[in-house]
């Protein structure tokens, strides 16, 4: 079953349960990241942990409301959980850790494959895989052309972002990829204008890419 044209299958109780699950997964993810990636300095402040847990819960609830009982829901919940953590880390450290980016990609690929097996949505899976390559190569070319503008972390993140956007459809890949790039550019200009960053490479593009991807899931038809 493709995402386009699907019917929501979960009621308020289902949405609330997924939202609560998102909060718990967000807390658990933060603990695991602090243990497995000590170079990040351990757990962030209580305020930061509370904010990311609540944001993860809200996103998971929104995804449950949007997707219902669709087979793709588990993959997009992973995107919400890891996406929030990656955005937090990128904003704080200007870093997109390879283990987290790889986990996001592999988890998405495995869960989309499982969902495609159950729903026979093989074209969605193939489109997602091709889109991952397309967006990765696009960002790689941009990084080669302008190495001070796009970091290699953003290039690597483009692969899972392309996978998730491409699974939705070609138009979502185009608009989601473009919006992510534009948002990152706007953020870069604003920060440089206020002298909070010396050059575009010091600006975190990851949050813009992830926000555009989740926005495409929640807002596109």
Domain ranges within the chain, ordered by starting residue: 12-219
pTM: 0.88
Residue 46, class by beta-carbon neighbours within 10 Å (0-12 exposed, 13-18 middle, 19+ buried)? exposed
> Residue 140: what pLDDT?
95
> Residue 146: what pLDDT?
79
> Residue 94: what pLDDT?
86
> Residue 178: what pLDDT?
87
Contact of 165 with 191, CB cutoff 8 Å: no
> Residue 8: what pLDDT?
45
Over the chain, what HEC string results? CCCCCCCCCCCHHHHHHHHHHHHHHHHHHHHHHHHHCHHHCCCCCHHHHHHHHHHHHHHHHHHHHHHCCCCCHHHHHHHHHHHHHHHHHHHHHCCCCHHHHHHHHHHHHHHHHHHHHHHCCHHHHHHHHHHHHHHHHHHHHHHHHCCCCCCHHHHHHHHHHHHHHHHHCHHHHHHHHHHHHHHHHHHHHHHHHCCCCCCHHHCCCHHHHHHHHHHHHHHCC
pLDDT in tens for each of the 221 residues of the chain? 444 333 445 689 999 999 999 999 999 999 999 999 999 988 999 999 999 999 999 999 999 999 998 999 999 999 999 999 999 999 888 899 999 999 999 999 999 999 999 888 899 999 999 999 999 999 999 889 877 778 899 999 999 999 999 999 999 999 998 888 788 777 766 666 665 555 545 567 889 999 999 999 999 87
């Amino acid at each position: 079953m493709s995402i386009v044209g699907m019917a929501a299958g979960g009621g308020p109780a289902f949405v609330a349960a997924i939202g609560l699950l998102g909060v718990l997964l967000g807390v658990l993810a933060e603990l695991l990241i602090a243990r497995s990636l000590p170079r990040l300095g351990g757990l962030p402040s209580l305020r930061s942990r509370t904010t990311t847990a609540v944001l993860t819960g809200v996103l998971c609830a929104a995804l449950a409301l949007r997707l219902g009982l669709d087979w793709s829901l588990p993959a997009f919940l992973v995107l919400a959980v890891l996406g929030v953590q990656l955005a937090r880390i990128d904003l704080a450290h200007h870093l997109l850790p390879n283990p987290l980016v790889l986990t996001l990609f592999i988890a998405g690929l495995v869960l989309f494959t499982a969902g495609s097996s159950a729903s026979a949505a093989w074209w969605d899976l193939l489109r997602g895989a091709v889109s991952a390559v397309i967006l990765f190569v696009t960002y790689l070319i941009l990084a080669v052309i302008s190495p001070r503008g796009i970091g290699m972390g953003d290039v690597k993140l483009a692969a899972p972002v392309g996978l998730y956007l491409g699974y939705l459809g070609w138009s979502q890949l185009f608009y989601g990829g473009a919006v992510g790039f534009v948002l990152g550019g706007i953020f870069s200009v604003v920060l440089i204008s206020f002298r909070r960053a010396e050059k575009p490479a010091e600006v975190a593009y990851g949050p813009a890419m992830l926000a555009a991807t989740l926005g495409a899931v929640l807002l596109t038809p």
